[in-house]
Amino acid sequence: MLLTAVLLAAAPVVPAQNALRDEAVDTALIASDAFLAGHPDMLYRKWAEQAYRQGSFERALRFYKRSARFADKVSQGRVAEMYWAGEGVPADRALAYAWMDLAGERGYRRILAIRERYWAELSPEERERAVEVGQAIYDEYGDEVAKPRLERAMFKARRNVTGSRTGFVGTLDVTSYNRGQATAGGGLSGGTTFRGDRFYDETYWEPRLYWAWQAKLFDEVPKGTVEIGELQTDPLHDIDLPAPPED
């Protein structure tokens, strides 16, 4: 497998320190329903991975595409690979190239290497069709429309804290429950409580920093190969997540 779907899940964080500069991993925070409710790119990708490991390829492809709508480049690359291999869908190399081209939109070197290999293996007819179908994919999943989609989800989740004010967390505690809700105030039972400054580290909620964090994770992939393997720091690995929907 050329591109596994765990690359962007690593999440280093400690209180009062920007996650881009810290090496610790806060698995409880990143795995919480409240956090994932504001990061559908990560949530849908993890559901896709679970379905893929279970051999439910059609279901995995649906979840990868949902994640792809929120600008997740790993999921977009996985969609490409599944079309290329004919997993959960009839093989379509032209469409696979178009998806891999989208995944390489930000210039990540390892994805670009895979894209160029795909192009080299296409027939002239497939290349022509890849160009034809690519525009519609960019119109629906390209960064120009997909990034704002995720940013709106992050903004909505960040505001969904009872009693909080936009842009202010202070000493606020955030309690995550099993329905993807975050509730302000300490002393609540039935959930996991995080300090506000820990939960709302700007790297995870401020768009400019969030995209920079993702780029940093791509840069940390070992060099010397076009394959993009699993990061050892994936905090969601082997952690129970909210159950995916049935459809």
DSSP 151: H
- What is the tens place of the pLDDT at every residue in 189-211? 456 677 777 778 888 889 999 99
**pLDDT value at position 181?**
47
- Is 142's pLDDT higher than 70? yes
Per the rule left: phi > 0, alpha: psi between -120 and 50, beta: everything else, 238 is: left
> What distance in Å separates the CA atoms of residue 162 and residue 232, rounded to the nearest whole number?
36
* Between 192 and 112, the higher pLDDT residue: 112
Strand extents, DSSP E, the chain:
173-176, 182-184, 192-195
Q: What is the pTM of this model?
A: 0.76
- Is 106's pLDDT higher than 80? yes
Task: Give the mean pLDDT of 239-245.
Answer: 58
* Between 246 and 201, the higher pLDDT residue: 201
